[in-house]
Structure 1
């Protein structure tokens, strides 16, 4: 194992969080910084998720960095909702524009990280794949360890019975989170998609356009809103650049950290303000539906709080689905039976109407009749009730991710007194502010559990957290402080408050990846910070103002 030079900061991951961390720590703080990325390319989630139809579910004019107005003005998003290739190109552009590539090491997987108490530094061991394919082990040390590993970076790969035999028999299997870079041509093929989360919803219309037959296997119906995606005009691009400061100001006032979808829509109120007028409430839902995207979240403040409001929203959705899908049985099977927002809402292009195509078939009810054999030697998919479908030339696993904690669970991270992160999180993730974990000094977890994270517009969350770390490090350096970590009391208080806040909503009333319910054996804990970005930012600022309240510094 080779030993490399000491760093001020070691950053893990080269998605948007890792890129911005590298920019802030190296370019602004002049820290000696080294960023490590497991892939051979940057982009994080937008490098791995290359499946057909992959695109962001927030408007392009918001889903981008705003710390540099020149950067914002020079990049031309081509569509209202950016497609994956364009988001990947944006990541490449950031590296070039801010000369970050010399500080980033690709094809480098973090295997172990251990806190060195004597020297107050992290020792990190990497498995590095060299350009010639040989493997080298490297050891680096750094004062700070930034975990920018992403929320959706560890594909969830259920071990379906029959899948190995299917591949041996010549069947093709693709996971949406590990899509081949060269793409896949499904022309004339009989295809099965397992899963109807975001990747399933986005890829279904695209694959249906090529395949001779498509069967979509659904365990739970999803709420998905139309994107109304299209090309951005030059006039629109000029307008949103002029309104950048207005957009940022509006974003700062939104719990979800996004506001572009509210253009032209009156701000949300409580549904009770309509005094039980169902017609007016339904019209509000219709207005938000016509606006598209996550505007539906902005319909009413109590959408995720009031069972009565949620019930009306569900009724609206059922009526809308039945108006779009011609076959009554298929439409009924596409209707969710849980409150909107309980699972992450999707944003789609022609998802529901795709089921009107004669060669597209929905196989519903997998919760009641689970998958028994997937593929097998005969290339059929069989359910527990004995029904069989196929044969299939290709099977697409749109089975999502081990969200928010999955990547860290694969790394051996050891803090003070030999405590491992796996032990610290055995009953579920614990932390303070979502950033700090008691017993793990100078380690910062970006956009993970305990922060608003996946309930927000992610780049807004990234900017806020990285800029908070910037201010904290400047304050530490000015005071000559070497270490910082959460107190156990503050950590327990934060986790308790987060759990209480989630329990007061409808968000944890169904099984979702917010709870880790899609991964067998994973502790069921509602992971995001429900109160949202406004409350979160206020608390983070208070911690700095009160001289690192809840944190131990030395």
Structure 2
């Protein structure tokens, strides 16, 4: 493969945006994509009911006014097929495919300290090299692979939701087990329940959810948004979550019960994730969170007829929002169907798979299909899959053995000319990822343009900067309730993973201001070198 200015790994939302922006800025860039199609998470998560939990108008690129005006979304919350069509449209409309290589899984990346370049080794032995390496591997793109006793004995079919087969799967007349009650499990359950003979949901942790209130978008709604799209974009950029919602001024317990109930009801039936911003202290104060959690339990409970099932579906191990909540369409109502069962595997754990199903400590469930909706090795899983070696051959896996450490989620010391979009230490999964992605990509594009113009050959995060940022991330999360629960935010969902909080909880708006300040201060926290450190005299202060 040819030498490029920049190699980008991953052709999902972040990779496509990075390629567009860098190419427009005059860089010779190439994307390497492991799959045979673009789309990232929306290419792989093709399970029934797969849908985004951010509104269509906001889960879209903002770099082209023409694109904004010409694309017409069909629903308030877009489905996986529609998002994938959108991403393919973007790739075609802006001629991105000529610089995307598919079927190019990166196995290793090695930094050459003398030349200040990266060399990538692909799964088939091909090599690619560049000055800069940008990782766009996604936050929720490394599925956790389950390993239950006897799993290989099962004669039926097992499917991982995040690696859904492209062939049509007919559940008609079949007995289906779904393990997991995160977004994927909650989305697929009501859809599969309408087709299958019987569905059994294996629940370890009951989860909070807010109704999606999804509906087809009308021509009037489409025209209204497009008439002043920029104002809507500004609202998302200047909101804490990138969703455009601003928290109320009064705190949860400062208002009357009647006023709070009215506000909660309004948010519950319209705002989706925005429910968390009904009041500014819901994720900060235990008493405020308890009140919000109690309201949601009551509302979720009203949707379930059987009192025993209702009790088991109520989340009691954590407060609302401390684990990632979901936005659902008919999940709780699915348990009112005669063909849907709930298996509480916290109370009665799965003991083993059998040839014909799953045996818990309580009973045996005969099954034809088992679907693993068991989540992801979030934020670091995809980044640590390839062997990425920086200075002295130290790998990223070794560097992050005690947990990821970055400067603003953008890079890590010891790995020069390496940038990360959506990395740990950035708002990522606590925000509208589209807004966070575009924010980071635009900043990186300006950074690389500055380096080119200034004759800089090597850029590297300083150890002082990453240590300071890690402290800041910890300080901000300690202001919240996020660490009161085990979640993929803090590594609690993967056995053996360091238990540290990974995303930045300071909000999109504040994060943007910090990026702007970093650039204004000549990219403080990054060492910029016109000659690589390895070629400088030992007595010279390279930083």
- Give yes or no for contact 1:146–1:443 (8 Å, CA) kept in 2: yes
Give the aligned partner of residue 429 of structure 1. Answer: 404
What TM-score, normalized to structure 1? 0.94
CA distance in 2, matches of 1:280, 1:41: 50
Q: Does residue 17 of structure 1 match 2:14? A: yes
Normalising by structure 2, what TM-score?
A: 0.95
- Paired residues of 1:317 and 1:335 also in contact (CA < 8 A): no
Structure 1 runs of 4+ aligned residues shifted over 4 Å read none
The answer for the alignment partner of 1:311 in structure 2 is 290
Q: Gaps spanning 5+ residues in structure 1: where?
A: 128-135
Cα distance in 1 for partners of 2:364, 2:276 equals: 37
The yes-or-no answer on 1:327 pairing with 2:306 is yes
Deviation at 1:405, TM superposition (A): 0.8
Q: How does 1:286-301 map to 2 (within 5 A)?
A: 286-301=265-280
**Given the alignment, which residue of 373, 376, 395 partners 1:420?**
395
Is structure 2 residue 10 aligned with structure 1 residue 5?
Answer: no
Distance 2:161 2:107 in 1: 25
1:221, distance to aligned residue in structure 2 (A): 0.8
Match of 1:382 among 359, 364, 374: 359
CA distance in 2, matches of 1:57, 1:290: 14
Contact 1:271 1:281 in 2 (8 A): no
Q: Map residues 376-525 of structure 1 onto 2, 5 A cutoff.
A: 376-377=354-355, 379-383=356-360, 386-525=361-500
Select which of 117, 123, 137 maps to 2:125.
137
- Across the two proteins, how many residue pairs are aligned to each other? 528
State the 1:5 CA deviation. 1.8
Displacement of 1:172 in angstroms is 0.7
How far has the Cα of 1:111 moved from its partner?
0.6
**Shift in Å at residue 358 of structure 1?**
1.0
Aligned Cα RMSD in Å?
A: 1.2
Query: What residue is the counterpart of 2:533 in the other structure?
Result: none
Match of 1:47 in 2: 43
Q: Structure 1 residue 186: deviation in Å?
A: 0.5
Within 2, Cα distance between the matches of 1:92 and 1:478? 33
SS in 2 for 1:362: strand
Q: Determine the structure 1 residue equivalent to 2:536.
A: none
- The answer (yes or no) to whether the contact 1:151–1:404 under 8 Å persists in 2 is yes
Aligned to 1:190: 175
* TM-fit CA distance, 1:250: 1.1
Q: Provide the C-alpha distance between the structure 1 equivalents of 2:475 and 2:428, rounded to a whole number of angstroms.
A: 18
Q: In the alignment, which residue of structure 2 is the partner of 1:237? A: 222
- Identify which of 213, 221, 237 aligns with 1:228: 213
1:165 and 2:153 correspond:
yes
2:136 to 128, 142, 148: 148
Equivalent pair of 2:348/2:362 in contact (CA under 8 Å) = no
- 3-state SS, counterpart of residue 502 of structure 2: coil
SS in 1 for 2:120: strand
The equivalent residue for 1:124 is: 120
Which residue among 102, 107, 120 is the counterpart of 2:103? 107
Does the 8 Å CA contact 1:79/1:232 hold for their aligned counterparts? yes
| Counterpart pick for 1:336 among 315, 323, 331 | 315
User: Who is 1:130 aligned against?
Assistant: none
Q: Hey, what's the Cα distance between the residues in 2 that align with 1:393 and 1:281?
A: 47
CA distance in 2, matches of 1:234, 1:389: 51
Alpha-carbon distance between aligned partners in 2 of 1:154 and 1:419, rounded to the nearest angstrom: 22
Q: Is residue 163 of structure 2 the alignment partner of residue 178 of structure 1?
A: yes
